[in-house]
Amino acid sequence: MSKKQLLLLSSSTVHGFSYLEYAATDIKEFLQKNQIKEVLFIPYALKDHGSYLEKVKNVFTKWGFNMTGIHESKNPFEAVKSAKSVFVGGGNTFLLLKTLYDHKLIDLIRSRVMNEGLIYMGTSAGTNIATKSIHTTNDMPIVYPPSFDALNLVPFNINPHYVDPEANSKHKGETREERILQFLETEHGEVVLGLREGSTLLIEGNKAVLKGLVGARLFVKGQKPQELEVGTDLSYLMDEKECLPECCPKKKVCK
């Protein structure tokens, strides 16, 4: 069994950087380390697949990688089956997940990543669907997928584009933190990693490290939220055993 390799980005654009520029080094090192030259792009989170492919392909081509779009294939299933790496773009998470279900790609992608070493890169919605479920997406449910269950490549949830509460804000609506804490009150919620704009999670087998420009915020059921710095080892989150709230995240005495 090949160990899984994932690079999960909070977003594609960060203030002060061009498209994917902030993560250029991490993406190139990740692909080169795994000897990847060809990338299959999955643009299902947006409606205009052709324009989306062109935008992303221009960047990857400059970096020295070849890219094709899954929508260019007559058989999306076979395209994923023969791919060595995939990049799943951002957009609407509900639309992305529904389209993957429609093409019967959920089980195939998961199996290939977990058992065959398919290299997985995702950003925003592409990061959301790499987790247990899409319960912690920020998107509007513009379509209805058959399930909120996602690829489950990592055994926790992620909230891309995590935004910290502003102390002097005049906005009186719920903060992102409040929404995540509400999720943790449900039977579905155990752990949520809030990835701020510019933060990235690198996963190699059962090892996970926070990378990127800024830190992240970790929410664990029954605990106060934690601040995480770039470089933090998050490998303990990859343990799929159910951990007691009082022992997570670092004092592991699991069921």
Could you give the 3-state DSSP secondary structure of residue 102? helix
Catalytic residue (one of 10, 12, 161, 199): 161
Give Cα 32 to chain centroid, integer Å: 20
Which residues have a Cβ under 8 Å from the Cβ of 33 and sit 6 or more positions away? none
Q: How far apart are CA 226 and CA 224, in angstroms?
A: 6
The burial of 229, by beta-carbon neighbours within 10 Å (0-12 exposed, 13-18 middle, 19 or more buried), is given as: exposed
The burial of 216, by beta-carbon neighbours within 10 Å (0-12 exposed, 13-18 middle, 19 or more buried), is given as: buried
Q: How far apart are CA 53 and CA 88, in angstroms?
A: 11
Catalytic-residue membership of 124: yes
Catalytic residue (one of 11, 85, 124, 199): 124
Catalytic-residue membership of 102: no
Catalytic residue (one of 11, 12, 85, 139): 139
54, 48 contact by CB (below 8 A): no
Catalytic-residue membership of 233: no
Q: What residues are annotated to the active site?
A: 124, 139, 161
